Amino acid sequence: MNQVTSINPATGTQLQTYNTNTIDEAMQAATQAQIAFDNWRKTSFEERAALLKRIATLLRQERDTLATLATIEMGKPILQSRAEVDKCAMTLEFYAEQGATLLQNQTVTTDAKKSYVSYQPLGVVLAVMPWNFPFWQVFRAMAPILMAGNALLLKHASNVSGCALAIADILQKAKAPQGLFTTLLLPASSIKALIAHPAIAAVTLTGSTAAGKEVASVAAAHIKKQVLELGGSDAYIILKDADMNLTIKTCTYGRLVNSGQSCVAAKRFIVEKEALPEFEKGLLASFEAATFGNPLIEHHTIGPLARVDLRDELHEQVMKSIEMGATLLCGGYIPEEAGAYYPPTILSNVKKGMPAYDEELFGPVAAIIEAKDEAEAIRIANDSIYGLGAGIFSANIEKAEAIAANELHAGNCFVNAFVHSDPRLPFGGIKQSGYGRELGEWGIKEFVNVKTVFIG
Q: b/e map of 43-70 (b: 16 or more CB within 10 Å)?
A: eebeebbebbbbbbebbeebbeebbebb
Residue 313 annotated to the active site: no
CA–CA separation, 28 and 197 (whole Å)? 10
From 229, 280, 407, 446, active-site residue? 229
Residue 280 annotated to the active site: no
CA–CA separation, 317 and 15 (whole Å)? 29
Q: b/e map of 97-123 (b: 16 or more CB within 10 Å)?
A: ebbeebbeeeeeeeeeeeebeebebbb
Host H or E run for residue 303: none
Give me the numbers of helices (H) and strands (E) for the chain, helices first please. 15, 20
From 263, 280, 370, 407, active-site residue? 263
The answer to whether the CB of 419 falls within 8 A of the CB of 391 is: yes
CA–CA separation, 341 and 316 (whole Å)? 14
Q: How far is Cα of residue 291 from the mean position of the Cα atoms in its chain?
A: 24
Supply the residues annotated as catalytic. 229, 263
